[in-house]
Structures are given as C-alpha cells and as structure tokens.
C-alpha cells in the first residue's frame, strides 16, 4: 500500500491537491507576522524535524510568488534563500518549494543537528531576518484539505473487497470555492477500508510499533509510517480503518509518534 493507491483519476487529483499543500503548507495568513516565524508546514507546530517541510512567515520576507518546478529542489528561488546554523554550529542552505512575499516553504535539511537552530532568510535585507527554531528528531504534523492544519485530513482512501481482493477509490474530502468538506466513508459491509494520510516530521520515528492512530477514540492499525518516497520531506501514514467504530459523522483522528501527538484532523465515518 505504500505508494499503490493512485490507480484512478480521482485519486490522482486528490494526490495533486495534497502535493500543492506541501508547497503552500499553511494556507497563508491574512495578517503575516511582523517578526519571522518558522512552523511545521503541515500541523503548524513551532518544532521542526530534519528532512521535514517547514513554512516561514513574515512581512516582506520573500519575493513575487514562485514555485520550484523540478527536483532536486533549488536552494535559491526568486532571489531568496534560507540558511540555518544548527546547535553544532554547522551552516546549511535549505531546498525551497515555494516563495511568496510573506511566506517561504522549504525542507529542513536532513543533516541539521537537534537542538536550537538559527534560521535566516537571505533576501537582500540587512540584517537578514532570523529566528531561533527548535529542531527535534520527530515533529509530526498532518496536512489537511484546507491547508490550515485543522479540519478534514488531506488523505486518500481505498475500499478492498474481501471476496475478490479488488480495490476501488473512495473520496475523503471535497473542495470548492467555498472551502473543503469531508466525504462520508462507509466502513461497513464485506470490505476493508484503508486510509493514507500525508504529513511531515514523521520519518524519524523509532519504530512502527511506536506510531498509533485513533479515530473517534478507537485504535486503527498502522501499516506504514515513513517517507512518501517521491517528494522531499513528505511523509505518509497508512492505516486500516477500524471496523469497531460505533460512532458516525466527523470524528477526530489523532496520530501519536514516539509519544508526541500531531495536530488533530477529522474524517467522516458512515
């Protein structure tokens, strides 16, 4: 199941929407902060992890909107770069997904040491905008359909027939000009539903057994938790939807990795 859910066109559209979130991260802030802040791009935590996606916000820190168009990601985009000096006094330039006037999305380089790191935005300003950021082994965050770190999970789901072992895609969310809403997932009948969640800051987990997911308070078996494999910094968590849920409607989905809880997201169960 790791990368095997993209057979249908609806799945590919959902996955493209999720990839857009890795570039845009938090869906922007109407009033960007005057001082620079760096957050987990999925869940909005102030702690980041090596080889994860981060968002920098600040008034006038970036440049006219520009996105990276290919891999490997560039370390300069629109004339802007992001540099950090970590707790071991090592400096590194970070790969960039996206630059806008008040936001920059980038990948925390894999070799950054744990502890406090100073992140600088090299945009021609003197002095360069900077902020201290906590770097930890893991900093789990889950992407949501609205890009704000709350609401329905940015996820992909399949229904597998127990009798024939054939898979069919099922929607998890719908987005339009008015926003994003959850789609009910039917977990009954003679089938098993699998859910693929997308996030960042998860791959550093100690063991799969130390990753847990609860939906409406019911434990869901975790089948995989680690790098998505195609895109820098993007992680995924594959779960089997629990069949013992006796609740219906939108439910909280809570991911915990090595004792650290990610932002709570929602799924709709029928």
Could you report the per-residue pLDDT of 98-116, keeping only the tens digit for each?
999 999 999 999 999 999 9
In angstroms, rounded to a whole number, what is the distance separating the alpha carbons of residues 174 and 181?
5
State pTM to two decimals.
Answer: 0.93
Asked if residues 180 and 167 have their Cβ atoms less than 8 Å apart, the reply is no
In angstroms, rounded to a whole number, what is the distance separating the alpha carbons of residues 237 and 107?
19
114-132 pLDDT, tens digit each: 999 999 999 999 999 999 9
Asked if residues 103 and 129 have their Cβ atoms less than 8 Å apart, the reply is no
- Give the pLDDT band (50/70/90) at residue 240: very high
70-90 pLDDT, tens digit each: 999 999 999 999 999 999 999
Q: Tell me the CATH architecture of domain 28-136.
A: Distorted Sandwich (2.70)
CA dihedral 178, 32, 92, 90 (to 10 degrees): -130
Domain spans of the chain, in order of start: 9-18+142-269, 28-136
In the chain, % helix, strand, coil (3-state, to 5) comes to: 5, 45, 50
């Amino acid at each position: 199941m790791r990368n095997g859910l993209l057979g249908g066109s609806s799945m590919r559209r959902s996955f493209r929407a999720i990839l857009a979130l890795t570039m845009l991260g938090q869906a922007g802030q109407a009033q960007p902060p005057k001082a620079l802040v760096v957050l987990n791009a999925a869940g909005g935590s102030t702690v980041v992890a090596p080889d994860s996606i981060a968002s920098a916000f600040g008034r006038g820190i970036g440049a006219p909107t520009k996105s990276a168009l290919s891999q490997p990601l560039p370390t300069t985009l629109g004339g802007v770069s992001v540099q950090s000096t970590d707790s071991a006094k090592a400096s590194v330039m970070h790969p960039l997904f996206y630059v806008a006037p008040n936001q920059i999305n980038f990948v925390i380089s894999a070799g950054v040491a744990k502890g406090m790191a100073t992140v600088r935005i090299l945009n021609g300003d003197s002095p360069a905008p900077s902020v201290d950021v906590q770097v930890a082994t893991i900093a789990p965050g889950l992407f949501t359909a609205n890009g704000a770190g709350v609401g329905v999970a940015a996820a992909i789901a399949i229904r597998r027939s127990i009798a024939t072992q054939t898979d069919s895609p099922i929607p998890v969310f719908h987005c339009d000009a008015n926003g994003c809403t959850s789609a009910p997932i039917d977990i009954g009948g003679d089938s098993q539903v699998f859910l693929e969640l997308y996030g960042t800051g998860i791959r550093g987990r100690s063991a799969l057994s130390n990753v847990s997911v609860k939906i409406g308070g019911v434990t869901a078996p975790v089948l995989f938790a680690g790098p998505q494999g195609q895109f820098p910094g993007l992680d995924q968590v594959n779960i089997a939807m629990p069949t013992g849920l006796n609740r219906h409607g939108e439910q909280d989905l809570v991911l915990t990795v090595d004792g650290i809880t990610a932002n709570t997201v929602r799924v709709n169960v029928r």
